[in-house]
Chains A and B, each alone.
Chain A
Amino acid sequence: MTAMTVQKTPALSVDRLVKSFDVSAPWLNRVVERKPRQYLQAVSDISFEVPLGGCLSLVGESGCGKSTVARLVTGLYRANSGEMRFALGADGKPLSAQMIFQDPYASLNPRWRVKNIIAEPLRELKLRNSAAEINERVVELLKTVGLSASDGDKFPHEFSGGQRQRISIARALASEPRFLVCDEPTSALDVSVQAQVLNLMRRLQDEFGLTYLFISHDMSVVRHMSDRIAVMYLGRIVEEGDTEDLFAKPRHPYTQLLLETIPNVKHPHRDRIVAGGEVPSPLKPPSGCPFHPRCPIATARCSAELPPIRTLAGGTRVACHLVAE
């Protein structure tokens, strides 16, 4: 299943990862209402590899489990089962991962000066010895992300959204990670600012040889950033392939739907027929293929049997009964 066409060793390989959350009602309610325990399967049986120095993007609509994967990878959640393995770095230790969060307004402590926010990982992980060294490193990081040394004395509220996201990036880079998990890093930003942040992230990737696991719902951003894309639907990967391949020839009907609904600024197709339906509740996932209630080509087999993910010639993986080899 993990036979992919990536030549390099993967920076991260994830094998059959499962995460479910207990969303049962409190004990007394369960007893009185005679209800069983209830579990929400946020991530079901996911396998993927992130190529070293590359970028894999997870895309999908809200509730598809992409942020849960990000939290599993960074160790904020513990998986129920499955395995994750980081490649070994030059020092013989596994690559360290850091995370950039979506909302630059909520992820920075409003009461701390920017220099202290960036210095925190340095202090906590004892990466620098003296205050002078820490200071020097903070200034270096600020310059790396395009801010000036004097910005360190300011508070987060004095910055715009794009500048705050630069501060979060500087903080993430403080511990010299080789692997960055970016959970919707630009979706709270305006387009012109989004371009600035995306360009910065590309430059840092080249400069420091970073590997990205990029999470977004914006297909145009994903296309710009990633080498490979994995499309998720209700906790599963339904299609994974090289970026150009996936855009040129989407195999899974859900990928086709996603690509179709992207608003196109240059060539708007205004009077198209919009596919109906919504993502079903992950508490009661449909039987068989989770996408079958919305799928335009679903057959009886799709509602009965869960399609396994198969690798096609060319390295694309797809989970659909109706896609020919």
Chain B
Amino acid sequence: MAEVDKPVLDVRNLRVEFPGRRGVATALSDVSLSIRPGEILGVVGESGAGKSMTGLAIQGLLEQPGRIAEGEIWLADRRIDNLDDRAMEKIRGREIGAIFQDPLTSLNPLFTVGAQLTETIRQHLTLKKGEARARAISLLKDVGIPSPEERFDQYPHQFSGGMRQRVVIALALAAAPKLIIADEPTTALDVSIQAQITSLLRRLCKEKRTAVMLVTHDMGVIAETADRIAVMYAGRLVEIGPVEQVLSAPTHPYTRGLMASIPELGARVKHLNQIDGSMPRLDAVPAGCAFNPRCKEAGPRCLRERPGLLPVGAGASACWLNAGGTA
């Protein structure tokens, strides 16, 4: 990956709020990340950590009354967080493709796979019917569907789960977007199919130089697919960096705990490491570092002051322990 590439996606200090009767809940706070062409950024975290929320905010799909309170989102050279609904509609599908968790619900059961593909293609690109069909068939071929000409006229229920997810990927790629946001694309699939889909995603992203934001809670999928990892906790980014560094030498205590709690295949242990307690609710995030109540290494500074992302190695980590050793 050339370092000179301009990022496709640049999120700067994003803050998302949900005003409610009992005050304002902050779903995302000070999230900054960027993805370059042909790069896969894996976003991990527990449920409720804000990883899907980040994806939705980028696509302009925040549910009411959610709002972007601070920060900017840039797609290539264009700021997209302040666009109106009409303009965002044009960007979704054309410039940002989406892959969702459940391939059954993201396809319309009443239309053939071919009709859905050509509809998407012709919505975004000016192509004649025949050309759109040819493009749809070549897309189906790209995603590894055998005999695409026949499959073109079949309905989603005639496809298996793995094949359906391939169709969804073809749909996301239909208009050759710059960025694909894949939210738990393999969670509904079996392990052997999961491996097929992640390697497909990886191959297509490299070939077409598409930037991918891969949102998942599965560290295994991230390890095998992503180039860089962003770890989220309680609506904040706690660590971001190249995949090797974050997985083998994590610098944030939360990432360390997360990695240690995965049952290892190599050695068998009687007792798994666990992080005691649970993630705070978004309306009850403690002062200072959000992880401090569960952190064994927390010092007085962690209770008072919120750490920002501090550069560590090739990545960055939001922990005072990395700021000269005094927490």
Contact = CB atoms under 8 A, between A and B. Distances in A.
Are A and B genuine complex partners? Answer: yes
Interface of A: 61-62, 160-163, 190-196, 198-199, 202, 217-221, 223-224, 243-244, 247, 257-258, 261-266, 268-270, 272, 274-276, 278-279
A162 B278 contact: yes
Interface in B162-200: 162-163, 190-196, 198-199
- Residue of B247, B257, B262, B263 most packed against chain A (CB within 10 A): B263
A41 B224 CA distance: 36
A55 to B, nearest CB: 13
Contacts of B276: 196
28 contacts: A191-B46, A192-B46, A192-B275, A193-B278, A194-B261, A195-B262, A195-B274, A195-B275, A199-B272, A199-B274, A217-B191, A221-B263, A224-B268, A224-B269, A243-B268, A262-B220, A263-B194, A263-B198, A263-B218, A263-B221, A263-B224, A264-B220, A265-B219, A265-B223, A265-B247, A268-B243, A272-B199, A275-B195
A217 B190 contact: yes
B217 A279 contact: no
Contacts, number: 120
Contact of A264 (B265, B268, B274, B275): B265
A244 B191 contact: no
Interface string B197-233: 0110010000000000000011111011100000000
Contacts of B278: 160, 162-163, 193
A257 B193 CA distance: 11
B266 interface: yes
Contact of A192 (B160, B266, B274): B274
- Residue of B192, B262, B274 most packed against chain A (CB within 10 A): B192
- Tier of interface size on chain B: 35 or more
B263 A264 contact: no
A190 B271 contact: no
Given A192-B257, A265-B220, A266-B247, A61 B265 contact: no
B192 A220 contact: no
A198 B262 CA distance: 11
A221 B278 CA distance: 20
Contacts of B160: 278
Given A199-B272, A264-B223, A191 B262 contact: yes
B258 interface: yes
A320 to B, nearest CB: 17
Contacts of A198: 263, 272
Contacts of A224: 263, 268-269, 272
A198 B243 CA distance: 27
Contacts of A195: 261-263, 272-275
Contacts of B271: 199, 202
Nearest to B227: A270
A274 B258 CA distance: 27
A220 B224 contact: no
A196 B278 CA distance: 10
Interface of B: 46-47, 160, 162-163, 190-196, 198-199, 202, 217-221, 223-225, 243, 247-248, 257-259, 261-266, 268-276, 278-279
B261 A262 contact: no
Contacts of B191: 61, 217-219, 258, 261-262
B43 to A, nearest CB: 14
Contacts of A62: 190
Smallest CB-CB A-B distances: 10 pairs: A263-B220, A195-B261, A61-B190, A224-B263, A190-B46, A268-B223, A195-B274, A261-B195, A195-B272, A220-B263
A198 B273 CA distance: 10
B262 A265 contact: yes
A266 B219 CA distance: 10
Contacts of B195: 261, 263, 272, 274-275
Contacts of B268: 223-224, 243-244
B259 to A, nearest CB: 7
A279 B247 CA distance: 32
A33 B215 CA distance: 46
B47 A161 contact: yes
Nearest to A222: B263
A62 B268 CA distance: 26
Contacts of A220: 262-265
A161 B46 CA distance: 11
Given A163-B278, A190-B217, A224-B269, 10 more contacts: A61-B190, A61-B191, A191-B219, A191-B258, A193-B278, A218-B191, A243-B268, A258-B192, A268-B223, A276-B196
Contacts of B198: 263
Contacts of A193: 46, 278
B114 to A, nearest CB: 21
B163 to A, nearest CB: 8
Nearest to B186: A263
Contacts of B274: 192, 195-196, 199
Nearest to A225: B263
A163 B276 CA distance: 12
- Residue of B194, B196, B259, B272 most packed against chain A (CB within 10 A): B272
A219 B194 CA distance: 14
A220 B191 CA distance: 12
- Residue of B160, B191, B225 most packed against chain A (CB within 10 A): B191
- Residue of A191, A198, A264 most packed against chain B (CB within 10 A): A191
Nearest to B225: A270
Nearest to A63: B190
A265 B265 CA distance: 9
A233 B65 CA distance: 47
A193 B279 CA distance: 10
